[in-house]
Amino acid sequence: INATNIKVRTYMQYTHTYHANDRSNQSKCFQNYLDFHRCNNALAAKDQDISPCQWYQSLVPGLVGKWDEKIEQGTFPGKI
């Protein structure tokens, strides 16, 4: 082992930023967003108060704007 190998190992050790939970959290947020719209549509069709549905949307505040834009553009990948 020489000094170059040690530097490379140290660099590689600190640049790893992937976390498996990032994907699973995004998947859960996406499902909650779909559930929000389904809840909203179901209660609105029955002329009922839709405030209970707000719980789903509060879980994904960072992604809601992006997904709302995709719905407006007609490019949202989920079935609502």
How far out from the chain centre does Cα 55 lie? 15
| Mean residue pLDDT across the chain | 75
Which domain range does residue 48 map to? 24-80
Mean pLDDT of 15-43: 74
What's the CATH number where 50 sits? Answer: 1.10.10.140
> Would you say residue 6 lies in a domain?
no
The pTM for the full model equals 0.61
Residue 21 has pLDDT above 80, yes or no: no
5 within a domain of the structure (yes/no): no
Tally of domains in the chain: 1
Tokens of 72: 């407006």
Q: Is the model more confident about 67 or about 14?
A: 67
Cα separation, 12 vs 16, whole angstroms? 7
Q: Out of 4-8, 35-39, 43-47, which region has the weakest mean confidence (pLDDT)?
A: 4-8
Q: Would you say residue 4 lies in a domain?
A: no
